[in-house]
Structure formats: C-alpha cells, structure tokens
Amino acid sequence: MNERRVPDAPPYLDALLRSQKVIVCCGAGGVGKTTTAAALGLAAARQGRRVLVLTIDPARRLGEALGLRESGPTPSHVERAGTMDAWMLDPRVVFEDMVRRLTADEAKVRRILQNKLYRALRDLVAGMQEYTAAEALYGFVESGKYDLVVLDTPPSRNALEFLDAPRKLALFLDERIVGVFMPVEGGAGVLMRGARSLVGNIFDRVFGEGFLGEVEEFLSAFSGMFSAMRGHSEAVRSLLTGPQASFVVVTSPEPSAIDEGQFLHAHLAKMGLPFAGYVLNRSWAYTRGLNGPESIALPADASDALRSGHEKLCQLAEHERRLAARDRALLATLSARGKPALATPNLGGAIEDFDGLLALAESFLVRERSPDALTSAS
C-alpha cells in the first residue's frame, strides 16, 4: 500500500513554526515527545529559521541522529539540518552561566562556584532538569542567536515543576526569607545571637560541623544579586505567558496518554499559559492516498497461496481502517475542547534516525498535494 498520508487541512503547527520564538512540548512519558520536539525544530529549520532544540536526555540513537553523543557545554550543530542546533540540558552549565550573567565581579563568581553548598545544590539539581529548563530557555531566547527555541520538557507531571519554576524562584528570593540565614551584624542583640547559636548547633549535628557557616557564606556571596535574579524570574514568566510562546501537548492513542494530555491542557489553562494545540503521535488517522488490497484483482488462475496471502492483506487493511476510525474519533475529542489537534503518521516504530525525523517534520508543514491525494476518500 502507498504509505503517503496527509492531513485534510494545513497543520496548525505550520503557522507556529514560522512565527513563534518559543514552542514548549509537554506530555506523558513514552509518547514520543522528545522526537516530536526534534522534528518541530527540523521543520522550522527547513523554512530557513535559526532553531535550537533543547532536549531532556534523548534516546541514544535519537541523540546520535541529533549529534548529541555527549552533553557538551554548548549547543551542537545538527548535520543535514541546515540552521538547526541541539543541546541536551546540562544544569551545571546553566547554573554557572546564570551566575556569570548576573555579576561581572570575577572574585564573587569564584566565591560562589567554589562554595560547598553551591556545589552540593548544583549536583542535586543536576538530576532535576525542570528547575533549569526555564533558565536555559530564557537565556538562549535573549541571546538573539536563534529565531525559535523548541523545548522538550520532562514527563508531564514533572513538567509542571518547570512551568512553576519562575514563581517559586521569585518566592525564594524574597529577602524576608533568605534574610533569616544571612550573617548577623556585630550589633545584633543577645537574643538574636543566642538563637543563631542554637540553630547553628542543631545544623552542625544534623548536617555536619560548619554547615550554617556555609549557608551564610553562600548567601553572602549572592547578596546584591537577589533583586536581579527575582527580576529575571519574572521576565521568564513574562516570556512563557506572552504572545511569542506556545505550548503543545504531545499525546498518543493510548487512553492513559490521552488522559494525561487533557490533564496538562487544563493545568496550562489554569496557569494562564498559551496552549496552542495537541499532537496525536504515532497515529493512523490520515488515510488519504492509501489503496486497499481489495482493489487488486487477482487473475482467474491465481494459486491458493496467492489467494490466501491476499485475504490476509485484506484483513490487515481492515484492522488499519479500524485504527484510523479510532484515531479520527480521538482527534475530534481533543479538538472539541476548542484547540486544534494534529495527528502524525505512524511510521512503524520509534524514530531513531535523521530520515525518520525528516518524515515526521514534513507532516507539520503545508505542502503541495497531488490531485489524487486531494480527491481520494479518507
């Protein structure tokens, strides 16, 4: 059968890929979200835009297709992708870049980067990419190097942490909170000094000797930077809620993935974030241009083996038609919530090479269609 499948109308993503500065891909684990993010970036690059795909630990072969054999300190150019770069989020690099951007004082930078508490926090957060995704996204957008940044978030429940990260950072940086741990001036009263001595003793017993001193040194090194960091977190929030950002929920025909996608849609709406639509991944929904085996006329003297094979092909074709009907119903259900839904073609398995990414990217763009495809029955 002819495997060329196209949607009935121009994909809504085509316009986003031409105009937006930020596209954030959200969704449950295992729905092909990372692959979709990479294909979106490739589609935009094929339109001549300078694109960066920020990804979260892609599958090994997909990472190789994107030139991400190792997580380097800077984005890598994707061979055969024209104007597209890709980078696997490295929280350590993101944190250090943030510190250097917020102060020109190299001595203060060294104090922060060498502080034991800073290094411990940095290494802890290295396993929770969502807390640095917003920072990296904003930094690359503001650099002016890219026309579009596509972000692949962690699985949806964790992605909510990324979406709320700017607000949490602003709350943490309230001086009334961090001031509790700032060093006490020499003129502090006896009660305050006694209280801090008690707290210090408790911290020493729980976390080891000198822990409170490390906290004070860490916060002292950051003093003067909190206002800038708070303003920066508000700028991140403004970017994510603004007209140049769009959130796309990636799902699959699996019922649990559909439920998760609808949950995330509702949460995005609650947070006031610009939800653009759904991508129903690995779908059978579009069947234009497919010719069923029933249209093949067997010769009168066809062998029993040939007739048996033809009958099995007809059964497989009927199974695909049922899948197509199911996925078209899912598209209708998703679209009923007021936002568009686009189905990507089922390419027969996980996409792990550049040619597969290219085929997926083409499904996001407006393209010329033959008269036969336009007039064929769905």
pTM > 0.85 = no
Contacts 24+ apart (CB under 8 A), 354-360: 354/65, 354/79, 354/80, 354/81, 357/35, 357/38, 357/39, 357/42, 357/65, 358/42, 360/35, 360/36, 360/39
CATH number at residue 39: 3.40.50.300
User: Which of 58-72, 131-145, 218-232, 233-247 is predicted most confidently?
Assistant: 233-247
Over residues 189-212, mean pLDDT: 53
The DSSP annotation for 283-344 comes to: E----TT---GGGPPPPTT--HHHHHHHHHHHHHHHHHHHHHHHHHHHHHHHHTTTS-EEEE
Range of the domain at 267: 12-89+137-166+243-375
- In DSSP terms, which residues pair with 313 in a beta bridge? none
* pLDDT value at residue 12: 87
The rounded mean pLDDT for the chain is 76
Give a yes or no: residue 1 inside a domain: no
Give a yes or no: residue 73 inside a domain: yes
Is residue 313 scored above 60 in pLDDT? yes
* pLDDT value at residue 161: 66
* pLDDT value at residue 24: 93
Over residues 214-242, mean pLDDT: 72
Give a yes or no: residue 291 inside a domain: yes
- Selected residue with higher pLDDT from 285 and 243: 243
- Selected residue with higher pLDDT from 336 and 223: 336
Give a yes or no: residue 17 inside a domain: yes
What total number of domains does the chain contain?
1
Instruction: Name residue 95's amino acid.
Output: F
Nearest C-alpha neighbor of 249 from the set 92, 40, 5? 40
Give a yes or no: residue 158 inside a domain: yes
Give a yes or no: residue 26 inside a domain: yes
Tens-digit pLDDT profile for residues 342-362: 888 887 767 778 888 888 898
Give a yes or no: residue 21 inside a domain: yes
| pLDDT-based confidence at residue 40 (cuts at 50, 70, 90) | very high
Over residues 303-312, mean pLDDT: 89
Give a yes or no: residue 330 inside a domain: yes
Contact between 239 and 134 (Cβ < 8 Å): no
